[in-house]
Structure 1
Amino acid sequence: MTNLAAKIPLPVQAAAMRGVFRLPAMLKRLIAGKPVTRDGQTLALDAQLLVKLTAASGINLTSNSVAESRAGMEINVDLLPSPPLDVTSRDLRMSTPDGELPARLYTPRDYAEPGPLLVYFHGGGWVLGSVRTHDYAARFLAEHSGVRVLSVEYRLAPEHRFPAAVDDALAAFDYAHKHADELGVDQQRIAVGGDSAGGNLAAVTALQCAQRGGPAPVFQLLVYPEVDFVTKRRSRQLFAEGFFLTDADMNWFEGHYLSPDDDRSDPRISPLLAGDLSGLPPAYLVTAGFDPLRDNGHAYAKALEEAGVSVSYQCQRDMIHGFINFAPLGGRFREATLEIAAALRAGLAYAR
């Protein structure tokens, strides 16, 4: 965040953000500028407005230090409105082979125990983010899907590089399965999901469960996941900068998450490169049109389908990376996130 933005009190910045997004579309367009079209797609007005505002304020996803980047993401959450959601939550700690993991369990109104559960992994490039930064996203998914959500505070890099987050994600699923009665959920209706880096962890968890045999998720919710650290596809260049997540950000995340000697083709890093994807649970995979990760996600959906996995793929062509975090702003962000919640509801409705 720039020095100018830092000098403006946070409540003032938050009020300004809320006010701008409540303006009539005509005024939003005046602020955002002419429509942006690339690769046959037109950026949603709400997304273009957000990009314009963040650029003007100097807000970046990553900065020189990990501490500054983490603090920035936490602060940016407070700039967003907090529309009320009829969801209760409680914090808990999960015992794992590597120690206790904090988590937060969200329960929608009228949830009938034992019901379905989504074990959720937040985004942030394996370096940033927390249960707190994704609190609204988890609440939103719980309320609009009717599914209980367990959001996991997995270990972050660079303090804990690969495979720490992978180990935590698998351990979190195993904990949920083992403690289903305690959590008030149906052991046979547990899904894994996440956004961005969290989508990667969800995909990797599903893959590892299939490979080992035994307890496994019945559904995977993959929101603009990173699935291939080896191949840089066309969207990586097309949307390298100017649309929230940048190519520089991705390089920054990789440099902190992985060590130089790590094999980028390891399926625990790049699930798209696994030799066998058969036997995986059904998946809903969504990408954003103006996202460097778009083509990787699409490639994974095709690979799953070719392996005989039931997969529903949706590209929100007018959206940017991270759109579920901006659902509190309403408009297209909320609409796109509602579709994800609907897919989760449908995916777990009859899963067994």
Structure 2
Amino acid sequence: MSAATTHRLALPLRVERAVIRAFARLPEPLIARLGRNAPVNSDGERLSPEIAVALSVLNRIPGGDFSDHSVERARAMLTDEAVVFADVHPPFAVEEDLVIPGPAGPIPATRYRAGTDSKGLVVYFHGGGWVLGSRLSTDSAVRFIAREAGVDVLSVDYRLAPEHPFPAAIEDALAAWDFAVERAPGWGLDPHRIVVAGDSAGGNISAVLARQLRGRDVVPVLQVLLFPVTDLSTKHPSYREFHDGFFLTEKHMDWYRERYLADPSDALDPRASPLLEPDLTGLPPAFVAVAGFDPLRDEGIAYARRLEEAGVPTTLAREGSLIHAFINVTGVSPAAREATTRIARAIEAAVG
């Protein structure tokens, strides 16, 4: 068993997980009735009822806001939350813990392969605002992608802030890419069929990495940017509409930004805010997914439009009924499962 799957929940959290899984098995008409008052955003999109019910519970948990705690405690809270909501997957053919040589030391990673064959490789960077998150917090999501797309996934534990502020994560991402290209043939994979992908902060890292690789002999066949952070220099209108109550909040983003950027002026650096990059021509094709109830929605849409204007083949998947980090709740939400399946199909098509 991979080190990324070993985490024991305290008893109350095990009970919470059991309740959540029981909820997921309720008939859809009953869930729809429970969530009949689900909010509608300014574009007329209605939040999925199962997400609305889950949020109504999560928003009432005392002390549940990680940004009120220390970084160490916040990391533990995110890990617990990820395991509570994790999907259930059958055993994988490959769950291999690896060490990537990094610019400042070893970078832990795990390679996943669901079956005996694989069509390609995804180098994946987890979310968590560059401060939280790990291979464990994204374990369920990358397993889903590996299984549904029929690919290997290399999940990377890049350095986190505030211990390692910007641009440490970007430096580690480049080392991970070089490692993947070098190792792919030994895994029976074509290095020209590698996708770079990530969610939230990981989407930011993936976008920056795709630009840094421009002009190389081996570049990503696709960049998959899931509800990405693309602009730390300002707050787009969706920050106002979804500032609180929809899992990721404006307060959380402020907390992340303060810890990731040792110098606030770094927000103007395109390696932190890829939307500010003046030249996006010549980049790999992109699949950008945004959620309808997410403070980051508008900057994700803006980046997809910039890519299109630069002539980059771009698919914008607007998942209007979902919230930030929906790839982590595929075991609870049919809408999230359908949206994440679309992501997997885009990856499958790119490598196939």
The TM-score, its normalising length taken from structure 2, stands at: 0.92
Higher alpha-carbon deviation: 252-261 or 196-205: 252-261
Q: CA deviation at 1:98?
A: 2.1
Among 143, 148, 152, the residue aligned to 2:147: 143
> 1:299 is matched with which residue?
302
Higher alpha-carbon deviation: 54-63 or 339-348: 54-63
2:96 paired with 1:93: no
| Residue 316 to residue 99, structure 1, CA distance change in 2 (3 Å) | same
Give the 5 Å matches for 1:283-294.
283-294=286-297
What are the Cα deviations for residues 78-127 of structure 1, in whole angstroms up to 9, with x where unaligned? 32254223533111111123221110001121414xx4111000000000
> 2:198 is matched with which residue?
194
Letter of the 1:220 counterpart: Q
Give the 5 Å matches for 1:100-249.
100-112=106-118, 115-210=119-214, 213-249=216-252
**Contact in 2 for aligned 1:236/1:247 (Cα 8 Å):** yes
| Structure-2 separation of matches of 1:343 and 1:200 | 19
> 1:69 is matched with which residue?
74
**Contact in 2 for aligned 1:227/1:296 (Cα 8 Å):** yes
| Structure-2 separation of matches of 1:159 and 1:101 | 15
> 2:6 is matched with which residue?
none
Among 317, 321, 345, the residue aligned to 2:324: 321
| Residue 146 to residue 86, structure 1, CA distance change in 2 (3 Å) | farther
What are the Cα deviations for residues 249-296 of structure 1, in whole angstroms up to 9, with x where unaligned? 000000010013442121100111111000100011100000010010
**Contact in 1 for aligned 2:51/2:333 (Cα 8 Å):** no
* Secondary structure, aligned partner of 1:128: coil
Q: CA deviation at 1:69?
A: 0.8
| Structure-1 separation of matches of 2:155 and 2:28 | 35
* Secondary structure, aligned partner of 1:248: helix
Higher alpha-carbon deviation: 121-130 or 68-77: 68-77
List alignment gaps of at least 5 residues for structure 1: 1-5
Q: CA deviation at 1:53?
A: 1.7
| Structure-2 separation of matches of 1:347 and 1:7 | 41
| Structure-1 separation of matches of 2:264 and 2:88 | 45
Letter of the 2:106 counterpart: E
Among 23, 33, 39, the residue aligned to 1:36: 39
| Structure-2 separation of matches of 1:171 and 1:273 | 24
| Structure-2 separation of matches of 1:348 and 1:81 | 26
Aligned residues: 341
* Secondary structure, aligned partner of 2:269: coil
**Contact in 2 for aligned 1:272/1:300 (Cα 8 Å):** yes
Letter of the 1:184 counterpart: G
Letter of the 2:149 counterpart: S
2:258 paired with 1:255: yes
| Residue 18 to residue 245, structure 1, CA distance change in 2 (3 Å) | same
* Secondary structure, aligned partner of 2:268: coil
Letter of the 1:253 counterpart: Y
* Secondary structure, aligned partner of 2:68: coil
> 1:3 is matched with which residue?
none
Q: CA deviation at 1:64?
A: 2.3
List alignment gaps of at least 5 residues for structure 2: 1-8
Higher alpha-carbon deviation: 331-340 or 141-150: 331-340
Identity of aligned residues (%): 43
> 1:52 is matched with which residue?
56
Q: CA deviation at 1:214?
A: 4.0
